[in-house]
Amino acid sequence: MALRQPLPQEEQTSSLNDKQSRQFNKKKPVHPKPKKKKQKWNFKRTWQLHVLVLPAVIVALFFQYAPMGGLIMAFQDYKPWLGFLNSPWVGFQHFKTMFEYDDARQVIWNTLVISLLKIIFQVAVPLMFALLLNEVRKMAFKKSIQTIIYLPHFLSWVILGGILMDMLSPDGGLINQMLGFIGIDPIFFLGDNTWFRPTIIISDIWKETGFNTIVFLAAVTAVNPVLYEAAIMDGANRWKQTLYITIPAMLPIIIVVATLSLGNILNAGFDQIFNLYNPLVYQTGDIIDTYVYRVGLINGDFSYGTAVGLFKSVISFILVVIGYRLAYKYADYRIF
């Protein structure tokens, strides 16, 4: 019997490859994927949570959603004795009237100016303050400063309004007394159209700076320390480290804070203005919210006041949507 000659090395390798390819190309049995079982809502397991949230839902329904039915007054010549069903319809007449009145146009302008200035300074001032606090090395001193600037945020404008009226009073107020020591005549900060807006902006910065400062400080602590070590090795001083490392790392949260503030561009601060303004400063201090309160509730023109309020709400809603879209696009911010 003749012996089988061994195949050359190349032929052996090719035959092995053919066998492996044939085995690989064999069709594997396809098993159907198991269907995901739909999770059934088990009310018995979560009824305690629903009971806890029920009071909040009831309050929201009665005090936030139910009153929205009154928006129908914006399209009626509403008379309380006739009610919603019998008051005559006027369509968009009140909205047209709103843009014809000089007072309404001035109120919209005041609201835009005050709110824009508040948005700008409520981003710039806390950012600078956070950068300065970040340079403080004594933690006890740093925490004390944080607490001091954050405390006014918890006080209502009713309390702060009374404090500011006493401090800014032209008759013996602390600020005017200090100005008198350097030879400056008393200034009526809350009764002069020239000084009212700066007073509103500065007092708002004093009250709300602490909140955004905490937000920006949290963003500073998230910066990788390795970046600072590498910058020191390259000879960068503290200013260059802040300019090229800290601020770029904080840019996403800065964009989020700034863009989300767009929704408040027509909210110039009703509580603050209402507690500090007076008829002497209506020209520069009257905003949409105080105008609606005065026209709708004090003067009894419910339909016109509702129309102005609805106009403000629609514009604010659009700006809120735009703000969230910008925050999502440029800072990858999501609300869920």
**How far apart (Å, rounded) are the C-alpha atoms in residues 109 and 89?**
29
DSSP letters for 163-180: HHHHHH-TTT-HHHHHHH
* Per-residue pLDDT reduced to its tens digit, 110-164: 988 998 899 889 889 999 988 888 888 888 888 888 888 888 888 889 998 888 8
pLDDT for position 58:
93
State mean pLDDT over 213-229: 85
Residue 38 has pLDDT above 80, yes or no: no
Predicted TM-score (pTM) of this structure: 0.75
pLDDT band at 18 (very low <50, low <70, confident <90, very high): low
Residue 59 has pLDDT above 90, yes or no: yes
Burial of 272 (0-12, 13-18, 19+ CB in 10 A): buried
State mean pLDDT over 224-248: 85
Q: At what angle do helices 247-260 and 193-221 cross, to 10 degrees?
A: 130
**Beta-bridge partners for 89:** 76
**How far apart (Å, rounded) are the C-alpha atoms in residues 57 and 66?**
12
- Residue 218: closest CA among 252, 244, 263, 262: 252
Contact between 286 and 106 under an 8 Å Cβ cutoff? The reply is yes
- Structure tokens that stand for 239 in this block: 């200013």
Neighbours of 234 (CB within 10 A): 8
- Residue 274: closest CA among 200, 181, 169, 174: 200
pLDDT band at 24 (very low <50, low <70, confident <90, very high): very low
**How far apart (Å, rounded) are the C-alpha atoms in residues 59 and 57?**
5
**Of 40-44, 88-92, 243-247, 322-326, minimum mean pLDDT range:** 40-44
**How far apart (Å, rounded) are the C-alpha atoms in residues 47 and 103?**
53
pLDDT band at 239 (very low <50, low <70, confident <90, very high): confident
Neighbours of 214 (CB within 10 A): 16
**How far apart (Å, rounded) are the C-alpha atoms in residues 271 and 158?**
8
> Nearest 5 degrees, angle CA 213-CA 217-CA 219?
120
* Per-residue pLDDT reduced to its tens digit, 255-300: 888 877 877 777 888 888 998 888 888 888 888 888 888 888 888 8
pLDDT band at 323 (very low <50, low <70, confident <90, very high): confident
State mean pLDDT over 304-312: 87
Q: Which domains does the chain have, with CATH numbers?
A: 93-331 (1.10.3720.10)
Q: What is residue 305's DSSP assignment? A: H
Q: Which has the higher per-residue pLDDT, 44 or 65?
A: 65
What does the CA dihedral 323, 324, 327, 329 come to, rounded to 10 degrees? -110
Residue 1 has pLDDT above 50, yes or no: no
pLDDT for position 2:
47
Please, what's the b/e burial string for 37-64 (b: 16 or more CB within 10 A of its CB; e: otherwise)? Answer: eeeeeeeeeeeeeeeeeeeeeeeeeeee
Question: What stretch of H or E contains 60?
Answer: helix 43-60
Residue 61 has pLDDT above 70, yes or no: yes
What is the length of the chain?
A: 336
pLDDT for position 36:
55
* Per-residue pLDDT reduced to its tens digit, 171-190: 888 888 888 888 888 888 88
Residue 4 has pLDDT above 60, yes or no: no
pLDDT band at 29 (very low <50, low <70, confident <90, very high): low
Contact between 312 and 95 under an 8 Å Cβ cutoff? The reply is no
pLDDT for position 245:
86
Q: Which of the residue ranges 11-20, 22-31, 76-85, 192-201 has the most confident prediction, judged by mean pLDDT? A: 192-201
